[in-house]
Structure 1
């Protein structure tokens, strides 16, 4: 009975942490309307910047091919997920360092993953809006309607992809905690993942050895399963094996991210460099 009560209190405290983090994230997001407006304004520009160079390498007759446009649509959604990975947690730690609040956060007993994933909640809200907004923009520009073959599978794969992004985000957050100032690393990693993570170009279409590198990036399996659920496309390898790889990668990234983050926290506390940057 006592053990059950302790477990209940532990779960309750974690849920309260998540609620507080989400509430703070939303308050900050809607406090600055320009963030919301910039998301609306920049999305069509990203579509033009990313879509046009790809389409220029295709015959004009393929520019309104639903299969191509829908594949790139889901690539845009994963662009948001990659931004969540790098900016949602990694740069959240950087902001707390700059504001001088990171030491106060680290003396609490709250989950580090929850504390530094506060911006993730606003990014997820932005992601949900982009799912509808990008579909509308694509329909207006290309006349292609986004269709979903298996919505339940799609929801499951997207949810796992968000967890994968959180895990990788914690790993990157540990890098930020170590380097203090990551500089241009954010943008470099973002474009490396976009180029090699199967986001817009499937590994099967990449030359050797880039296709091997692509298969080592977990996002390649996430986007492939999402396209399979949404468009009924053929998966790169056996579907069940892809699901297994994605689940293992997600769990491994979360466990590894939490471990590295906690270890670097200890190192920084002992050296007195936790709040320096």
Structure 2
């Protein structure tokens, strides 16, 4: 019986420092029927040279390899380009500066084949600090073998590390028949995961099958100003609201949940910054929806009087 094909879509912008490690992890996979779609998102370094140098090795290994270049437009735009090209039965989309454990894909495929009632699965993984050499599990909380992760995703209470996840082609087509996600510079993982989680429970493999390397220029790890945090939460909320629009859920209730959470996150940043204008704005949102906690009420009045 022929193995199902797994498509790997990886956008990359200026990843020359990490690509050797990334490609070696693809070559080391114990699963055989693979399609790799690598989207160069307008890199100005040696990304193209390195990516093309692996064509022979990948094809010799039996991996169908597609390399595409586009002008820099962000990861969501790069994913959209890859989604139009992929032909696999399953999809995963790891970052180019991270690494898949050798049996990462094999274990996820085996889980989905053994559990046809679910159409998505995730594993645990590791955060690896390149400078300190420390390793920390991405999630330390226990998980059920299958679970409903829609609300935790909407509240950003669970992890969305792209390479931890695998979804079926059929589930993706249910979410995005045109294979076109909303294009934003943030939150592209949630654009795929939220609609998927609204239609299927998510399987879980309690093994560290994806390794996220933490380095100084990691986009998600950069230290931000308070203003940048406000803008980031606004942008992330916009992405979540678009994802809800293509989800099978109580869209009004889910959107309200997201808007309240955005206000709450910005409220606590405003408390730390002592920004009374943002405090008032976000407190009114929480108050209007009856979701202000006693702690938040006390913090608000105390800071407003200072």
Same fold (TM over 0.5): no
TM band (smaller chain): under 0.3
Q: Which has the higher contact order (CA 8 A, sep 6+)?
A: 1
Bigger strand fraction:
2
Q: TM-score, normalised by structure 1?
A: 0.25
TM-score (norm 2): 0.23
Structure having the larger proportion of residues in helix: 1
